[in-house]
Chains A and B, each alone.
Chain A
Amino acid sequence: MDFMQIIFLLCAALILGAALMVVTTRNMIHAALWLIATLFGVAVLYVLLNAGFLAVVQVVIYIGAIAILFIFAVMLTRREMRDQGPQLNKGWWMAGLISLLSFSGLFMLFTNWSGFRRTMVEIPAGLDTLKELGLALVSPNAFVVPFEVASVLLLAALIGAVYVSFRGK
């Protein structure tokens, strides 16, 4: 077992453990916090995968914005700190079964794919992924249009969110 594998395993344990806590904990604030832990783990994973930019973006956007947004939403939809009672609905065993089935289905699909046991290739020398990413995002024969459209989407989301929750005076 080499060093990378150990790191990976630790990371995986963090991610999966925190994810489990997210979906089972009763207290919503705790769930949000466990989500933050999961996201951290994912960020570390990105670093392992040589996608540093993504790791940073993950922390900044996901944890910094989305998780905070979750905490805000939890706070705004709580009634007198009421977090008692079961947090799982009645059909949770079915949900568990489905998720198990989906996991096994996915796993089976993966195992049938020939490239399942591929090992990591070396990054070619002189390849600066960050620079390439930046160039891809803005060059017209790359992905500028999806980039711009994504921003329009964000705008729409912004307006939509404001409109939906507008309390009107």
Chain B
Amino acid sequence: MVPLSWYLTLSAALFSIGLFGVLARRNAVAILLGIELMLNAVNINLVAFWRYGDPAMITGQVFAIIVFAVAAAEVAVGLALIISVYRNRNTVIANDIDMLKW
């Protein structure tokens, strides 16, 4: 039997890896990749808890589906933004996009 702890550990690890990707990658698209990994880790967590909790309560899966939708929407907008910035600034390096300041 696979105890819940394995799933939770896996999701925590995947989350951390995604966090590392977000924080440490130069390319803005790679940052979004990291975010995707984090969202996936969350999803794993949700589904694991649904399965190991009360499978009759379908709320867990519903939550996961909503997360899917949100992830998709966010990726779309994010990439659109990156492309727009790329067109203006001619760079996708996150460090060079430093307009969010006074």
Q: Do any CB atoms of chain A lie under 8 A from CB atoms of chain B in the complex?
A: yes
Which A residues are within 8 Å of any B CB, using their own CB? Answer: 2, 4-5, 8, 12, 15-16, 19-20, 22-23, 28, 31-32, 35, 38-39, 42, 45-46, 48-51, 53-54, 57-58, 61-62, 65-66, 69-70, 72-74, 76-77, 79, 85-89, 91-92, 94-96, 98-100, 102-103, 106-107, 110-111, 115-121, 123-124, 127, 129, 132-133, 136-137, 142-143, 146-147, 150-151, 153-154, 156-158, 160-162, 164-165, 167
Task: Give, as a whole number of angstroms, the nearest-CB distance from A155 to chain B.
Answer: 9
Given A50-B51, A89-B25, verify A146-B77 contact (CB < 8 Å).
Answer: no
Indicate if the CB atoms of B24 and A92 lie closer than 8 Å: yes
A-B contacts counted at CB < 8 A amount to: 251
Number of B interface residues, CB 8 Å?
73
Say yes or no: A23 contacts B24, CB within 8 Å. Answer: yes
CB-based contact A116/B4 at 8 Å? yes
B68 and A99 within 8 A (CB)? no
> Complex Cα distance A63/B82, Å?
20
